Structure 1
Amino acid sequence: MAADNAVGAAQANTLAAIARVGALNPRLNAVIALDPTAADQARVLDASKGPRGVLHGVPMLIKDNVETAGPLPTTAGSLALKDNVTGRDAPLVARLRRAGAVMLGKTNLSEWANIRADASISGWSAVGGQTRNPHALNRNTCGSSSGSGAAVASGMVDAAIGTETDGSITCPAAMNGIVGLKPTVGLVSRTHVVPISHSQDTAGPMTRDVTMAARVLTAIAGSDPADGATKDADARRGDYMAALRPDALRGQRIGVLRFATGWHAGVDARFEAALAVLRAQGAVLVDITKFDSRREIGSNEFQVLLTELKADMATYLATLPANVKPRSLADLIAFNKANAAAEMALFGQDTFEKADATKGLADPDYLKARATSLRLAGKDGIDKMLADNNVAALVSPTASPAWLIDTVIGDQSPGGGAGGLAAVSGYPHLTVPMGGVRGLPVGLSFIGPAWSEARLLGFGYAFEKAANMKLVPQLVQSIEDRPDVAALLAPAPR
């Protein structure tokens, strides 16, 4: 679907993408709104002298917590921001435009990036409704970049932008059967992105394949004076396209995170098949069987996210137009109570309330929690595993197969994987499809040290080309409707 250099190609690609959204979105709720200026953007590109950049003419969807200039609001899925038309491009969006991409529209998401309540339903927002998994419509997409994952998986677009604080790119990428890359925190600007945590937030590519992920990252990586975390990004940017070699795994030592397996037999079977592919491509696999600090990381991380949510949200809300009334987390809590029928019929806002009770960024307990979680996940976690085992990267399953959408119990993930280590440390995490469990996709995670995106993309590319494990969505109502699964459920012949 990527554009060629022919006159009119950008517009043709854009109109085709609009048609696919029109055909598929009523069943998936992956797209909140299409940008009415998209065709005009494409006409300008077609009139330009030669390709503008690595994404020339590529229609892209943007998660609706990332601001785009134009008529569309940036809502984070909440009715509290339904009028949030800022007229600003987030710097990462401006970079996409400079690279020639067409901003097609905004994708649905778990409201407030899944930080409002503990017992939430991933993929649901008051603005966009429930996003559905194109591999089985009664299954969840994971979150919070739910719509970006479903839109790419279903073929609406080849590339979308997601954001992640912990798992919000990689989990929906894996559960929808696409490629997702959470970059090093500080490689991509977070300015004009609705925040959770300045310690862990980042945006990244969600794409049909590793090559497109490298193209998108090439476009969006770089320093932003308004985001101090990105001060080293220009110096750290890699040549992501040059890293895409089919022999990238040859002779590489890869750590296998055995402690992140054992929670789902079907996922374990796909993981073993993926490891066989890595070996066949010349990788040397080193088992890593133990890591004892995951629970301690989690409890400290939660304190960090609560504290930073309150502070960072207030900072963001202060920049919004006057017609957007909330200016603090307390204001959002009050809005939800006043609009409970629309906002809280399915689940509440207990996480918001816990965050609002925190004591600020100078709180010694918060500072200790951040130092502890960062050390355990980074220096004493990923860094130590890499050094002690002399390996270039770590691999594990990414997430479970998609669970059922359940408005009574909420999300039902069995857990697993090791993406939380990359999230808390701020290190990069790439997931690529590694096949499926009864027709539901699962992903293989590549995790590395800070700024190792080029290396991880190279490894992912080599695996992708050798394995060819991507599943084509069937848009069945349930997995049990697939003929191969239905046969297993039928009674034995008499």
Structure 2
Amino acid sequence: MSILSILLIFLCIIMSNFSVNTEAKTFSFKETTIDDIHIAFKQNRLTSRQLVEFYLSEIQRANPILKGIIEVNPDALFLADKADQERKEKMRRSISLSRLHGIPILVKDNIATKDKLNTTAGSLALVGSIVPQDAGVVKKLRKAGAIILGKATMTEWAAFRSWYLPSGWNGRLGQALNPYVASADPSGSSTGSATSVAANMAAIALGTETAGSILSPSSANSVVGIKPTVGLTSRAGVIPISHRQDTVGPICRTVTDAVEVLDAIVGLDQDDLPATKKASAYIPHGGYRQFLKADGLKYKRLGISKNLFGFNDIKVYQHHYNTLRQKGAVLVDNLEVSNVDLVKDAIFVAQNIALLAEFKMDLNAYLKKLVHTRVQSLADVIAFNKISASEKVKEYGQDVMLEAEKTNGIGKLEREALRNITKACKYGFEKMMKDNKLDAWMSPGADIASLIAIGGYPGINVPAGYDKSGVPFGISFVGLKGSEPTLIEIAYGFEKATRFRKPPPSHPR
């Protein structure tokens, strides 16, 4: 081959790369949605590699300050190249792909991935541990062609180490920040999932919730979070607190994106029976995307409670209530939960009694399934924390773990607590919903999270505005088990009517 031919080939390669890079620059990465990405893929204006490269560059820029991502997948670019090749082959054969194919996603650090990433719940005690397989939801994401970009940081042990542990802090990474206002609470425990998506270090993420850990950080970071009915998504491979209350759900910047992810991760999992089998009956034929209706608020009966727990002044939401009425919703005001004393006892007393016992049992069972680990029980974790300076036991303690270690299964006290929880759900929240014929109950921020947690009920948080300091706040819509289709209609209708979300500043104030 002549020198001229070699030079011509080299020039063609350079021009080809220049063309690809030029086309990528025409794509707006910031605040991009799954629909935006799909259109760009089809028009050959974007590749999965370019998308992953953008997020990696944003992580390199912003994560040292925000600390939203605890670990990046070293195989992310390899997986992106694989996705690009699959897309080319499928397009040639006119075969459709999943809507998550080739799109990077963060998963919370308590969700197992059988790859080069750690799964630690933010704890140094689990660094280097080896999980037996992907978590059930991760299997579904991989089947859909999604790229696991990395692990989002979290409040250590999902905030079940100590009552004094700051939201977003863990021994591995330290303190995560709210991307809007650095001094504001980033909330937990799915802190990094919310802050990273809000700050455009990823388009989508998975979080987990036991009692507020999806809805609360979503509200605090101006993103959409869906807490599914318990069992609708598999908890297999998720470092647990309670099989009775734990659930996995999406955290995204739009209701549409969150619904896309929900569609991909719901369903039966043989490793989480009977919960996923029972909840699968709630999944609508044709999936959840069909409920993204612009007029979703029309004729919906929405309950507004009296300020039951005193966490928030609902007056700041009055303009939202007016908007809801204008869009056709019927607001039932000044509701009080039925049998409120029974409900408060279930939330503040019975729930804690049950969770302490369930945490010890469920965590011990999880640790025993690991292929390799330095800690094989809750007692081992407690002992590790005592000798690890980075775990800051002197500052933050581990009182919750110590109380849980004292439990011995589900005894008389725990059975009574569980009976009280069941009564509170039936004669409290469920009775109020049914007596008032409500489609949903709405609440400032995530104030209602503890109430729906004890019954395994679903909820969706949507951005609702910012206070005078620039700190975000959301609004939550919650309902009875399996009411996700109705909640999606309401949340989507509210989002389209208000469009309050805005990206955070380049650096938190």
Shared fold (TM-score greater than 0.5)? yes
Do residues 85 (structure 1) and 98 (structure 2) align? no
CA distance in 1, matches of 2:222, 2:312: 17
8 A contact 2:184–2:471 mirrored in 1: no
| In 2: Cα distance, 1:391 partner to 1:76 partner | 37
- Kept in 2: contact 1:68–1:87 (CA 8 A): no
Partner of 1:212: 257
Q: Deviation of residue 263 (structure 1)?
A: 4.2
* Amino acid across the alignment from 1:418: I
- Counting only pairs closer than 5 Å after superposition, residues 76-475 of structure 1 correspond to structure 2 as 76-86=121-131, 88-228=133-273, 229-238=275-284, 239-260=287-308, 263-265=311-313, 268-291=314-337, 292-293=340-341, 294-297=343-346, 298-322=348-372, 324-361=373-410, 363-376=411-424, 378-399=425-446, 417-438=447-468, 439-475=470-506
- Separation in 1 of the partners of 2:49 and 2:278? 36
By percentage of residues, which structure has more helix?
A: 2
- TM-score using structure 2 length: 0.87
The AA in structure 2 aligned to 1:251 is Y
Q: Distance in 2 between matches of 1:249 and 1:462?
A: 5
Aligned equivalents of 1:84, 1:136: Cα separation in 2: 35
Measured in 1, the distance between the counterparts of 2:395 and 2:54 equals 35
Q: Secondary structure at the match of 1:316?
A: helix
Aligned partners of 1:63, 1:263: CA distance in 2, in Å?
A: 27
Please say if residues 357 and 404 of structure 2, whose CA atoms lie closer than 8 Å, have aligned partners that are also in contact: yes
Cα offset, 1:79, TM superposition: 0.6
CA contact (8 A) 1:31 1:106 kept: yes
The alpha carbon displacement at 1:261 in A equals 7.3
**Shift in CA distance, 272/262, structure 1 to aligned 2, threshold 3 Å:** farther
Alpha-carbon offset, residue 160 of structure 1: 0.4
Among residues 13, 25, 41, which one is paired with 2:63 in the alignment?
Answer: 25
Give the drift of 1:85. 3.0
Per-residue Cα deviation, 1:239-271 (whole angstroms, up to 9, x for no partner): 211000010111111111223476444xx2432
What's the secondary structure of 2:369's corresponding residue? Answer: coil
* Contact map agreement 1:108 1:123 (CA 8 A) in 2: yes
Shift, 1:346, TM fit: 2.8
Structure 1 residue 86: deviation in Å? 2.3
Deviates more, 1:334-343 or 1:203-212: 334-343
Q: Does 1:73 align with 2:118?
A: yes
Q: 2:80 aligns with which of 6, 29, 42?
A: 42
Structure 2: distance between partners of 1:78 and 1:335: 10
Q: Matches of 1:185 and 1:477 in 2, distance apart?
A: 34
Question: In structure 2, what residue type is equivalent to 1:75?
Answer: T
**1:126 & 1:57 partners in 2: Cα distance?**
32
- Give the stretch that moved more between structures: 280-289 or 8-17: 8-17
Other structure's SS at 1:318 match: helix
Q: How far is 1:56 from its partner?
A: 1.9
After the TM superposition, which of the residue ranges 117-126 and 230-239 deviates more from structure 2? 230-239
Question: For structure 1, which segment, 465-474 or 231-240, has the greater mean C-alpha deviation from structure 2 after superposition?
Answer: 231-240
Preserved CA contact (<8 Å) 2:312 2:444: no
Shift of 1:122: 0.8
State how far apart, in whole Å, the 1-side matches of 2:127 and 2:304 are: 45
Provide the residue aligned with 1:10 in structure 2: 48
Q: How many Å apart are 1:381 and its aligned residue?
A: 2.2
Give 5+ residue unaligned stretches, structure 1: 400-416, 479-494
Q: CA deviation at 1:355?
A: 0.4
TM-score by length of 1: 0.89
Q: Partners of 1:339 and 1:260 in 2: how far apart?
A: 41
**2:485 partner SS:** helix
- Contact residue 45 and residue 52 of structure 1 kept, 8 A: no
SS of corresponding position for 2:350: helix
CA drift at 1:289: 3.0
Alignment-derived partner of residue 482 in structure 1 = none
Separation of aligned partners in 2, 1:58 and 1:374: 40
**SS of residue paired to 1:259:** coil
Distance 2:361 2:97 in 1: 39
Structure 1 168/356 Cα, relative in aligned 2: closer, same or farther at 3 Å? same
**Larger Rg, first or second structure (1 or 2):** 2
Q: Which amino acid counterpart does residue 445 of structure 1 have in structure 2?
A: S
Distance (Å, rounded) in 1 between the aligned partners of 2:387 and 2:422: 38
